[in-house]
Structure 1
């Protein structure tokens, strides 16, 4: 103990903990000490707690607690404090001081203290589980910054340091080196931990197995950031391979132009492969990437014609899990249309959206358009003697009563005024003339002969006007 001129003595602080392993969610520690006599304290006195550096040196201490004036008056006293977020070491100490009168306690016993600003698993080597180096060369392992997905890279916290290890068994390892990277020239499985000393922590990396490419060709493992199979509704997955001098990616055996980086992003299924130049040797690998997006089909064409008063029954088939169906007409949701099938009665643009309610929870849509069709066999009472094929949609073709059209075994013959046959059929579709008749300023006259199945004959003329 150290005695002050004011005749007050402060006892050595007792720690209410064995080590201080702090984090954002926990940073509260206690120390208890005695002082005497209580009457020596001034009403303005303040107690402070000073913390040494990581080596126990108080030449530039950190003040980690200061009481309010006159707040602490009885002995023994217990004070609560927090450690700075830059704390990292095994031999910290604290001491207690008073301001009125001035006095300082002896140093506490040493203790380990770390502020764990990052305390979750992180990735190295882009989460690729293997690497290879050429004989006589090396492979550089790096902590990803930031990496893919939700990786919480410890490199984002500048005060942290790192220790690399090599596995000696599934449950044991040996320390190799410090730093954010590790150059490996010996085969084995490696990983890194954030240096929190004797404090337990979840801040450690994935394992990477490094091998030597003694035959000139190594295995280039490919990892998918979203796993395999993957859900495309989460976005594109990032394929990563081992580090090298240069890269070339392929899909289904075909070179992907411009895909020359260590990572390649895609949302497609297929066989992806990569060739990696390691310098004195090379590596290659492949992955059968599978997207879990469901399949769906619709049983109508993109464009359909329908007559007024008719309806069209449309059905969707899908492999989606617990599918939800939404039908739209001209961009508006159709109320109550939530089944795999729908009966369309109106003209317009339809769309159906299929959503998978479980699994990947992705969506697909199909669109089709229903237009009003031309009635080839309208009800007419008489054989017309005039048409005007000018493309205005009115009286453009020679339309016969239903007793003479296709399906009635009636023969229809049309001739020019010189007797040349231009049409002869037993399946008339009300579609003459199908081609341009090269109309002139003079109306043209054609003649027809209609012979029914029971040999009833009708004859007459057709005037074609402009």
Structure 2
């Protein structure tokens, strides 16, 4: 009898133990608490935390793992994304805080989190909704190839595109297919489009941002001013290196609005082959472009100037100095590491390499200042220095002398005639020997005949003069040479 009872006792124990395990191997996970109001992740920051309570702690099995799941952008867990899984048995204290990262495709305003356990199996309520974005591209980018203006014909439209790949400095968001966009027309903050491009038919300033919702972002484009054009419309030309530009460093790119065809000109002369939206040059000048939009044409011009540093010179274009006078010429400049070269009558003056030069000789002068660092550029000043000697240095005699005594005593050594006939009056002076030989024929008489005063073979030779003025008045007579 005793043996029979023991058999029933063991049978009851086998039934009770499974029931006991079923009753006590359960836990409840509370609503997750977020440590953030929104998630704005990027390649250099993608770590966030969530805290959740669970009870009872004793209900956990040694193999239990906690799993944090992320909903879709609308808050649905139909197809959740696992963002965290704990090591088996690692979490044994409530509340627990874990960290996680979001996928690079995360983008939406209604995400939620929930926590699940594996042993025993349990699921928390959903967290509150939050915005979450992974900013895979978070730098400025370009539209319209960085060209700041665009034009459409009256009644037409213009398409603005995000550049891909764009210019060399452009990190195009089109490289990331998961991204969406928001186009704006200033000053409104209401998006007008969400695609990779937008067609506009109203004048205004447009730009686009990558759609990162309420997250602050540096992923935005340049502004483009779109205008409506008619047959007499004018557009603009911009220089990639600014205006003035450093022509000695590299060429600048002239850019105009997008159109159907183009023709560039320099100084009102069409440039052969210059029929693109841009024109590259390192030459200053007056540039213009005619842009055809099909049903209308626009024109633009720019006075492209080369870089010049500030400088001055302390003398006018024309200067006069006395025979014993010195003219101090000084140039001042804002050029970096300037070099100076001085010239007289087109020839460089040896040793003249400073900002000042003392002049004692008449002539045509020039100084060239060169900036040798930064933008290498030169500037020159030209000026004339005259002598203050009487412009008519010849003595004013009343009559034409008929006697010359070239004996070196300083009296009547040369034939000195009135000032109205000498150099500068364009008077023709001729001297003819008694044998009929012309010994002097000039329109620039210097009161210097005879220059070889003692070289006379005959005693007291006689010469005949003919003086013809510019207005054809004639004086004739004779000269006797007395030794």
Q: Under TM normalisation by the shorter chain, which class is it?
A: 0.5 to 0.7
Q: Structure 2 vs 1, CA of residues 69 and 251 (structure 1 numbering), >3 Å: closer, same or farther?
A: farther
Over 3 Å counting, the alpha-carbon distance change for 1:12 and 1:218 in structure 2 is same
2:272 to 257, 265, 270: 257
Q: Is the 8 A contact 1:145 1:156 kept in 2?
A: yes
Superposed displacement of residue 146, structure 1: 3.5
* 1:155–1:224 Cα change, 3 Å: farther
Give how far 1:340 is off: 7.3
Report if aligned partners of 1:132, 1:242 keep a CA contact under 8 Å in 2: yes
Task: Give runs of aligned pairs for residues 106-185 of structure 1, distance below 5 A.
Answer: 106-148=125-167, 150-167=169-186, 169=187, 172-185=188-201
Cα-to-partner distance string for 1:202-241 (whole Å, 9 max, x where unaligned): 322233232222x423222222333333446875433322
Distance (Å, rounded) in 2 between the aligned partners of 1:235 and 1:181: 34
CA distance in 1, matches of 2:150, 2:305: 24
Paired residue for 1:40, among 59, 70, 73? 59
Please give the secondary structure, in 2, of the residue aligned with 1:91.
Answer: strand
Residues 13 and 96 of structure 1 are in contact (CA less than 8 Å); yes or no, is this contact kept in structure 2?
yes
Counterparts of 2:65 and 2:249 in 1: how far apart (Å)? 56
User: For each residue in 1:436-460, what CA deviation from the matched residue of structure 2 results, as whole angstroms up to 9, or x when unmatched?
Assistant: xxxxxxxxxxxxxxxxxx99xxxxx
1:321 alignment partner in structure 2: 335
3-state SS of the aligned residue for 2:167?
A: coil
Q: Give the secondary structure class of the aligned counterpart of 1:178.
A: coil
Rate the CA distance shift 1:39–1:149 in 2: closer, same or farther, 3 A: same
Residue of structure 1 equivalent to 2:227: 211
* Aligned partner of residue 174 in structure 1, secondary structure: coil
The answer to whether the 8 Å contact 1:125/1:242 transfers is: no
Match of 2:28 in 1: 9
Q: Give secondary structure in 2 for the equivalent of 1:39.
A: helix
Does residue 72 in structure 1 map to residue 91 in structure 2?
yes
Residue in structure 1 matching 2:289, options 252, 274, 280: 274
Whole-Å separation in 2 of the counterparts to 1:261 and 1:133: 18
Closer, same or farther: CA 72–320 of 1 in aligned 2, 3 Å: farther
Q: Which residue of 2 aligns with 1:380?
A: none
2:208 aligns with: 192
Conserved? CA contact 1:132–1:218, under 8 Å: no
Matched, 1:238 2:253: yes
Cα distance change on mapping 1:46 and 1:121 into 2, 3 Å: same
Residues 148 and 225 in structure 1, CA contact (< 8 A), matched pair in contact too: no
Q: Equivalences for 1:41-120 in 2 at 5 Å? A: 41-120=60-139
1:376-429 deviation per Cα after TM superposition (whole angstroms, max 9, x unaligned): xxxxxxxxxxxxxxxxxxxxxxxxxxxxxxxxxxxxxxxxxxxxxxxxxxxxxx
In proportion to residue count, which structure has more helix?
Answer: 2
SS at structure 1 position matched to 2:174: helix
Structure exhibiting the larger radius of gyration computed from Cα positions = 2
SS at match of 1:155: helix
Determine the C-alpha separation between the residues in 1 that align with 2:255 and 2:271. 15
Cα distance in 1, alignment partners of residues 160 and 184 from structure 2: 12
Distance in 2 separating the partners of 1:5 and 1:319? 93
Aligned 1:268-347 pairs, distance under 5 A:
268-292=283-307, 321-323=335-337
Q: Distance in 2 between matches of 1:95 and 1:4?
A: 25
Q: 1:13 to 1:216 in 2, by over 3 A?
A: same
Deviation at 1:252, TM superposition (A): 2.9
| 1:101–1:240 distance in 2 versus 1, CA, 3 Å | farther
Higher strand share: 1
Preserved CA contact (<8 Å) 1:320 1:356: no
TM-superposed deviation, 1:364: 7.6
Deviation at 1:98, TM superposition (A): 2.3
Structure 1, gaps ≥5 residues long: 297-316, 326-338, 342-353, 366-453, 456-466
Unaligned runs of 5+ in 2: 1-21, 312-330, 340-352, 356-369, 379-453, 456-483
Cα shift at 1:75: 0.7
Distance 1:5 1:278 in 2: 80
Summarize the Cα distance change of 1:138–1:92 in structure 2 as closer, same or farther, 3 Å threshold.
Answer: same
RMSD after superposition: 3.9
Q: CA 1:230–1:56 in structure 2 vs 1: closer, same or farther (change >3 Å)? A: farther
Q: Distance in 1 between matches of 2:165 and 2:224?
A: 18
TM-score for both structures, normalised by structure 2: 0.58
| C-alpha contact (below 8 Å) 1:293/1:362 kept by paired residues | no
8 Å CA contact retained: 1:141, 1:182? yes
SS at match of 1:126: helix
